[in-house]
Structures are given as structure tokens and as C-alpha cells.
Amino acid sequence: MMTHQLLAPLSGLSSDLLSALPTFSSIFYVGLAAFFSLWAMRRFSSHPRNLPYPPGPPSKSFILGNAADLSDSKLWFPMVNWASIYGPIMYFRSLNKHIIVLNTEEDATELLEKRSSIFSDRSYFPLIDLVGWTFSTPFKHYGSEWQRHRRFLQQMFRAGALVQYRGVQIEKVNDMMHSIYEAPEDFMTHVKTYSTAIVMSAMYGYKVSPKDDYFTQLAEDAMVVLSVSSYPGASIVNILPFLRYLPSWFPGAGFHRTAKVGLNTVTRMQDVPYKYVQDNMAAGTALPSFVSENIENCKTEDDHKLLKAIAATGYAGGADTTTASIIAFIHAMAEFPEVQRKAQEEIDRVIGHDKLVTFEDEASLPYIHAICREVFRWRPVTPLGNFHASIAEDVYKGYYIPKGTTIIPNIWAMSRNSEKYKDPERFDPDRFFTESGELNKDDVNYTFGFGRRICPGRHMAFATVWLAIASTLSAFDIRPSKDASGKNDPLKVEYSGGMISHPLPFECSIAPRSERMKQLLIDLNNNRM
């Protein structure tokens, strides 16, 4: 199923919450509203410690609180505006759900890392359950099963283990470079193939086809399902969780029907590549991979279920997020040509003009490293991070945090901290250098999350993005497209909403930097034939 076909039935998942509220005209909803009105009055009028909640936007409804605000799929924008009014720690309510937003690294580090024993659970959104994404590590509740997931992923993607993936990363980046040379207008497809090919090789020993690959499309479709399901206002059921228990024919419960479409896609995304490995192992043709190396240790159905879930977590999540970052880099180079020129000057000075970049060059290319950091800061892939939840009540800076509170680390606000980042909307890698010309200590690690729920594949992601950026800059010039008169077309790039923010399709010019580089790109294809 192609992504645009998938989005049509899923469009109901991300419809404006306000348009769904008229279904409350039935007697059933009126009765529920009255019940929750009395219940909320008792629950939120006081609490045992008699301490204040953090400041926040005024409630728009006595019953629903700020639920209507949560319908925005790009919630990080209004949240940044709220932060300018209410400060770095904000509180609001959606029906019976307490929500606290952390707008600074310092507060997020204090709660989500230093107090991780309290703040490492996941926030509950029923739609994620209904579309089947609770198999995945980020959406597991804090406990023994989640810990098993994390151990596997940390072992596989720890910094010291990355050398085993360098061969496939080099192979796939060379494929991407030649594909961009042959069809630069399809650069987004080529980047997607590169990111997916690395993860699919590592997880399943599968070689991705350059075009129209089934597994690549399946991962993209599954991530679309996740992105339109996992923000608070994605559906009325995320605001009113009790609605999940209504039958699909009941007024206002149409989300059940649309969620089935997503569930089918997400289930196939887990099952199909896993069966691919099983079939190849039976035939004696399986290539080394995470699944093939661990499947023989599976003694029970639960063991297979665990292995399948961990592999699918890396397969879908790893490919999708790195793709978004690399395409954001291409956007930045087209919009900020002075950065591109400076990066290419460094590459030419260190590497020369007769070869492409490899990992051995990384330490000698600090400006390329700074560009990677700036990509993650300038366009964080998950602008609101991974939602956490508290398993016990707590007090922080004199504010009361109830048990079960959803904690949102506002990565977008952190990346727009004007005290730390001058002119934060500008793409400026120089912000990561000290006055003496060395890289500073700001590794933008906050863009990968916090505490026990930090992305376990962050080292792999950085290496994959670094290689793509360095290779692309060494080989190509990236510029805005030109109109019929030869003038640059205005470059206006939009980004999607939802949990994961992608650059939407845009046009630019990508061409080899020289005739010598053109020949190197042609040779890449000859060498792989």
C-alpha cells in the first residue's frame, strides 16, 4: 500500500478535535459529561500536598480542560508561545490527564535523567494501542519487558559496536550517491533507500532494491500510521480514552474503523521481514543479521515475539528518522549556500578532489561534524520528544507533579533557546565551536531524548547521517531550482506534523561539483556491477 493511499482512510485519525465534539449531543455523552464534571471538580480542586501546579494556559473547558488545544499536529509551535508567557515549566489538563511541559534541557535532565526512577514510564494514548504500535520499545510501559528490549538494542547499537556496520554504510552511501547522480530529482527516494538499506541489512540481512522496494514502503507506511496516531489530539479517543471501549458503529467511535487500516500495516511491518529471515535460514541462504544471529535462541512463541518486536523497532524507527534528518540537511544547503561553501572548502583541503569521504576522515572534518549537530538542532525529528509519565507523585521547584502525569520534553523549545543559540532559526554550524576553533561540548544529545528512554540507536543514527552529509558535500553542489528565466525559484519547505516531523517534498538542484567528480560517481556504478 502506497503512503498516499494509506493516508486517505487514516485522515480521520488526525481530524480536528473540535469537529468531533458535536457527537456529544447524544444523551449518552451528556451523561458522561455530567459524571466527569463532578469527578473532575473533586480531583483537581485539591491534592494531598497542597502545593501549586506549574503555571500554564487557562483551561478552555471545565470538563475537557485544554483538550481542544491538543488537536494541533504541530503542537510545539503553540507550546513555544506558551513558554514565553508561563515560563520553562508549564502545566495544563486534558480531561483527567495531567500534562507538564519541560522547555529547557536543565529541567528535562533533572526530572527525566536524575529522577528517572520516577519519570521513565510511557504516556498512554489509546490510538497507539489500537493501531498496534505498542509492540515497539518506545511505547512499552516501564518494566521487565521494556528492559529486555533496551538491553538488546543497547548491545547492538552501542558506540563500540558500530564498526561492524561501516562496510554496509559505505556500500549503501555509494549506491545513494550514484542514484542521485543519475536521477537528482528523486533525491528524497534515494535518501530513503539509503537509510532503510542500512537498517534492513543490520536487522534482517536484506538487500533493499534501489526503486519501489516493498520493505522500504512498508516501513514508511507504518511510520505514517505512528506519526498520525501518537500526538495527543490525533483522535478524540486520545483525549477521551474511555471511548475505545465503544463499538465501532457507535456515534463518535469511527476511529475503530480507520485504526484497523493502520493495524494491518503495522502487523505486516513486523511479520513479513521476520518471515523473510526464517525462510532464508530454512533455505540456507540467510545473510548475517540481528535476527538470524538470535533466532536460534528463541525457544518459545514469546521469545519470537520479543525478537520480532525489537527488530521491527529498529527497522521502522531507524530508517524513518535518519531519512528526515538527511533531507533536512539538503534543505539547509539549498537555503544557506555559505555553509555549503565552507564545508566543501574543508573537504577539499583535507581530502582533496580525487576521492570520496570515508569514516577514517571523520576526525579531520570538524565542520562537517558541526553541520550534523546543527541538522539535529535546526530541525529536530521529534520536536516534542518521547513522552514520559510519572509512576509516583513528586515535587519539583515547589510544584506538585501527580502520579501518572504526562511529561513532554519540548525539544523544539530547547533547540530555540535564544540564550544558548543566537538567531536560532538560522542554520549556523559555527555555533558549535569555541573561540579557539575547537568543537564545544554541546553535542545536542537532547534531540535524541532523555534518561532511560533516550534513543538507543543514536550513535548509529549520527554515523549514518554524518556519512551521508560528508559524501554529498564532497560530490555535489546543492542549489535552489531555477525558473525558465534562469532565476532561483523561491525555496519554501514545509515540515509535517505528528510525532515525527519530516520535510515535505520540495525541489532543488543537485549536480556533480566537477567533471572529475562526475567520473568518480560513474565509477561507483561500474565497481558494483
Average pLDDT, the chain: 88
Q: Which of 273, 270, 338 is nearest to 309 (CA)?
A: 270
Residue 189 near residue 212 (C-beta atoms within 8 A): no
Count the Cβ atoms, other than its own, within 10 Å of residue 29: 17
Q: Which residues of 378-415 are buried (b: 16+ CB within 10 A; e: fewer)?
A: bbbbbbbbbbbbbbeebebeeebbbebbbbbbbbbbbb
- Mean pLDDT, range 473-479, rounded to an integer: 97
Whether the per-residue pLDDT at 32 is higher than 80: the answer is no
Q: What is the pLDDT of residues 309-339, one digit of tens each?
A: 999 998 877 888 999 999 999 999 999 999 9
What is the three-class DSSP state of 112? helix
Q: What is the pLDDT of residues 69-122, one digit of tens each?
A: 888 889 999 999 999 999 999 999 988 889 999 999 999 999 999 999 999 999
Whether the per-residue pLDDT at 12 is higher than 80: the answer is no
Q: Per the structure block, which three cell numbers stand in for 450? A: 532523555
Q: What is the Cα–Cα distance from 203 to 307, expressed in whole angstroms? A: 10
- Mean pLDDT, range 8-20, rounded to an integer: 38
Band of pLDDT at residue 48, cut at 50, 70 and 90: low
Does 8 or 397 have the greater pLDDT score?
397
Annotated binding residues: 455
Q: Per the structure block, which three cell numbers stand in for 119? A: 519519570
3-state secondary structure 9-67: HHHHHHCCHHHHHHHHHCHHHHHHHHHHHHHHHHHHHCCCCCCCCCCCCCCCECCCECH
With vertex at residue 387, the alpha carbon angle to CA 157 and CA 227, rounded to the nearest 5 degrees, is 80
- pTM reported for the whole predicted model: 0.90
Does 481 or 3 have the greater pLDDT score?
481
Residue 44 near residue 93 (C-beta atoms within 8 A): yes
Q: What is the pLDDT of residues 221-230, one digit of tens each?
A: 998 898 888 7
Residues with Cβ within 8 Å of 197's Cβ and at least 6 positions away in sequence, in order, are: 168, 172, 175, 207, 208
What residue type is 351 in one-letter code?
I
> Which DSSP helix (H) or strand (E) runs through 98?
strand 97-102
Residue 306 near residue 323 (C-beta atoms within 8 A): no
Whether the per-residue pLDDT at 484 is higher than 90: the answer is no
Annotated binding residues for heme: 455
Q: What is the Cα–Cα distance from 476 to 29, expressed in whole angstroms? A: 59
Band of pLDDT at residue 64, cut at 50, 70 and 90: confident
* Listed range (12-21, 59-68, 513-522) with the worst mean pLDDT: 12-21
Highest averaged pLDDT of the listed ranges 64-68, 94-98, 270-274: 270-274
Q: What is the pLDDT of residues 178-213, one digit of tens each?
A: 999 999 999 999 999 999 999 999 999 999 988 889
Band of pLDDT at residue 251, cut at 50, 70 and 90: confident
pLDDT at 248: 84
Match 552511501 to its residue by C-alpha cell: 173
Residues with Cβ within 8 Å of 385's Cβ and at least 6 positions away in sequence, in order, are: 408, 409, 410, 411, 449, 450
